Amino acid sequence: MSYTGHAYALGAGTVVNAIATWKGSAFAVDLKTFADIELYDGKGDIAGTIEGIPDADTRLIKRTVELVLQYFNVDMHGSVKTKSEIPLASGLKSSSAAANATVLATLDALGEEMDPLNAVKIGVQAALDVGVSITGAFDDACASFFGGIVVTDNKLKELEHREEIEKDVLIFAPDKKSFSATTNVARSRSIAPWVDMAYKLALEGNYEEAMTLNGFLYCGALGFETEPMMLALEAGVKGVTLSGTGPSYVALVDTASGSKLKESWSQLGISGSLISTKIYNKKAKKLAGCDHK
């Protein structure tokens, strides 16, 4: 007998990157990762597939399934497949979304429920176990799972604040990839006192100021260009940052500033994609059947 499950979770953009201080903030965006799982009774391996990427690293989604099965103390085997609207290795939280979607799909297959924060923590642990994240990215995972804007303490795995905000988002995602696990942590830690200022701004609800300060700090520390940020400020944007450890930039925009910034970013001369989306305020969720196909 087989048991199937289906779910999705969200991509996200950075407000404050937690690598420097273990404290971070992020917001969900309307870009989804879908997970489908098929399980069978009895011990065995979990196979993993990422649609459209034949040689993809599937350790994260396989480990996530294993941890959910361990949580419920059941022996099962099977396969998990994800497909995503989120550019991979671009700082847009594709790993957090994949882990969250996989947790929910596995719960769906098992017919089980779990406290939402426990579900998030399983994905975070899987990311740490397989080495795709430095801190476990609890902030990104919470944004991906709960939607809206979140502020977190990643070391304590505490969700300090969550808020729903209606705001359009413009993303510039260069074709160049950047993997979080290869980031220069020492340089990031050297800017910790100033990143802490950005975190305090986020706690006070000053998200745009927080993300812009965060962006200039991390661009300097990690060697990314600040020109995309300067173009955003010149377009009237108040909140713009390097997302995660790059290479993508995210900006909170309105109609006028978004139009100006799209034109400016399109003339940067850097190969990549411009994505117009919005903050997504709803939770990740299980799907009734394969609704996404």
pLDDT in tens, 110-142: 999 999 999 999 999 999 999 888 778 999 999
Angle between helices 94-110 and 138-146 (to 10 degrees): 60
Residues 181 and 263 in one domain: yes
Average pLDDT over residues 1-25: 96
Does residue 291 lie within any of the structural domains? no
CATH number at residue 55: 3.30.230.10
pLDDT reading at 210 higher than 60: yes
H/E element holding 236? none
Residues 86 and 31 in one domain: yes
Residues 138 and 272 in one domain: no
**272 φ/ψ angles, rounded to the nearest 5 degrees:** 175, -170
pLDDT reading at 181 higher than 70: no
- CA dist list (Å): 213 to 14, 15, 185, 194, 245: 12, 9, 18, 8, 15
Does residue 224 lie within any of the structural domains? yes
Average pLDDT over residues 6-25: 97
CATH number at residue 252: 3.30.70.890
Does residue 292 lie within any of the structural domains? no
- Rounded CA-CA distance 263/283 in Å is 32
Residues 115 and 238 in one domain: no
Average pLDDT over residues 32-57: 94
Can the peptide bond before residue 116 be classed as cis, meaning omega within 30 degrees of 0? no
What percentage of the chain reaches a pLDDT higher than 70?
Answer: 96
Does residue 8 lie within any of the structural domains? yes
Residues 44 and 127 in one domain: yes
Confidence at 292, pLDDT banded by 50, 70, 90: very low
* pTM score of the predicted model: 0.94
When the pLDDT of each residue in the chain is averaged and rounded to a whole number, the result is: 94
Does residue 293 lie within any of the structural domains? no
Residues 184 and 99 in one domain: no
Domain ranges, residue 208 = 168-278
Residues 27 and 148 in one domain: yes
Residues 106 and 180 in one domain: no
Residues 128 and 183 in one domain: no
Residues 155 and 179 in one domain: no
Per-residue b or e along 181-196, where b marks 16 or more CB atoms closer than 10 Å to that residue's CB: eebeeeebeebeebbe
What is residue 122's predicted lDDT score, i.e. its pLDDT? 97
Confidence at 176, pLDDT banded by 50, 70, 90: confident
Domain count of the fold of the chain: 2
What is residue 183's predicted lDDT score, i.e. its pLDDT? 67
Residues 147 and 39 in one domain: yes
Residues 172 and 146 in one domain: no
